[in-house]
Amino acid sequence: MEILFLFGLLKNSECIFISLQIGDLQLCKLDELDCLIKGILYIDSVGFNGRSQCYYFENPADSEKCQKLPFDLKNPYPLLLVNIGSGVSILAVYSKDNYKRVTGTSLGGGTFFGLCCLLTGCTTFEEALEMASRGDSTKVDKLVRDIYGGDYERFGLPGWAVASSFGNMMSKEKREAVSKEDLARATLITITNNIGSIARMCALNENINQVVFVGNFLRINTIAMRLLAYALDYWSKGQLKALFSEHELSGNAPALAASYFLIPQETVRVILEPLEHSLSY
């Protein structure tokens, strides 16, 4: 019998091999990113309740006007895939068999949760998100208007734009005035602004206009998705939409790809999803 598994944490693969070398078991290790891409394309092809799997946010910065709208990914190539887990990997996908890792950043979901644990004392990812939903980041971040008194019109910078993440925390008086919720919100905005900026530069360099965000960081995390949508819209001057999936894909898509694309039909299939999928966020 063959057991297939997908690993984001490759350092543990030898332990799995040793623990499962019993009888006629044979382990087949599959590349996580190969399976992620194939799985996403498959999931989008079958749709979601009769409509597209992908969607985007219209007016993401306005709570009252924000709308979640379907996006038809019928022509998926080229595609920029931003996979947000503990860190971030950004892939340029030209076909189901032709892709490359463009770049990445160490500032991802693990950074958000780790900093929130340090700054707020929270113990779960859900608690960190709940705090962020109630916070005011402008008490923590230094804005353009804090430096120039308003918009910096010469360079097209609005007064509400972040000039320095956590910049107000240099002041003892301002540190004493912020809440844990404010710190959590500022942390989330710092992470999403950074990811959105990098994604926009990658899309520009690769001449790609479809950007899809996936990963465990986005599970139960609508607030981060809206912030990413806003960040990408801002950095691209409205030229790019941040696309998301109706289902969190970093764990499910690779397993589906292994089942439907990579395994002979006569093979007994037992899929072990990536270990990262079991993390608290």
Summarize pLDDT for 66-101 with one digit per residue, the tens: 999 999 888 889 999 999 999 999 999 998 789 999
pLDDT at site 279: 34
Give how far Cα 101 sits from Cα of 218, 271, 273, Å. Answer: 20, 25, 21
Contacts of 221 (CB under 8 A, 6+ apart): 129
Contacts of 224 (CB under 8 A, 6+ apart): 129, 188, 191, 192, 217, 218
- N-terminal to C-terminal alpha carbon distance within the chain: 32
Query: Looking at per-residue confidence, does 124 or 32 come out higher?
Result: 124
Give how far Cα 113 sits from Cα of 142, 197, 275, Å. Answer: 22, 20, 18
Averaging pLDDT over each range in 97-111, 236-250, 263-277, which range is the top one?
Answer: 97-111
Cα atoms found within 13 Å of the Cα of residue 31, Cβ hemisphere only: 6
Between CA 219 and CA 224, with CA 223 as vertex, the angle to 5 degrees is: 65
Average pLDDT over residues 209-225: 93
Give how far Cα 168 sits from Cα of 16, 123, 242, Å. Answer: 48, 25, 29
Amino acid occupying residue 235 = W
Which pTM value belongs to this model? 0.81
The helix-helix angle for 125-134 and 109-120 (nearest 10°) equals: 70
Which pLDDT band, with edges at 50, 70 and 90, does 280 fall under? very low
| Nearest C-alpha neighbor of 228 from the set 125, 101, 83 | 83
Between CA 156 and CA 115, with CA 134 as vertex, the angle to 5 degrees is: 80
Summarize pLDDT for 166-207 with one digit per residue, the tens: 999 999 999 999 999 999 999 999 999 999 999 999 999 999
For the stretch 112-121, contacts whose Cβ atoms lie closer than 8 Å and that sit 24 or more positions apart, written own/partner, are: 112/187, 112/188, 112/191, 112/217, 113/280, 113/281, 115/187, 116/183, 116/184, 116/187, 119/180, 119/183, 119/184, 119/187, 120/180, 120/181, 120/183, 120/184, 121/180
CA pair distance 112, 250, nearest whole angstrom: 18
Contacts of 112 (CB under 8 A, 6+ apart): 128, 187, 188, 191, 217
Query: Over 70: is that where the pLDDT of 232 sits?
Result: yes
Residue 67: alpha-carbon gap to chain centroid? 20
Contacts of 101 (CB under 8 A, 6+ apart): 33, 89, 90, 91
Domains of the chain: 2-140+178-278 (3.30.420.40), 141-177 (no CATH)
- Catalytic one of 2, 14, 32, 173: 32
273 is catalytic: no
For residues 29 and 3, is the Cβ–Cβ distance under 8 A? no
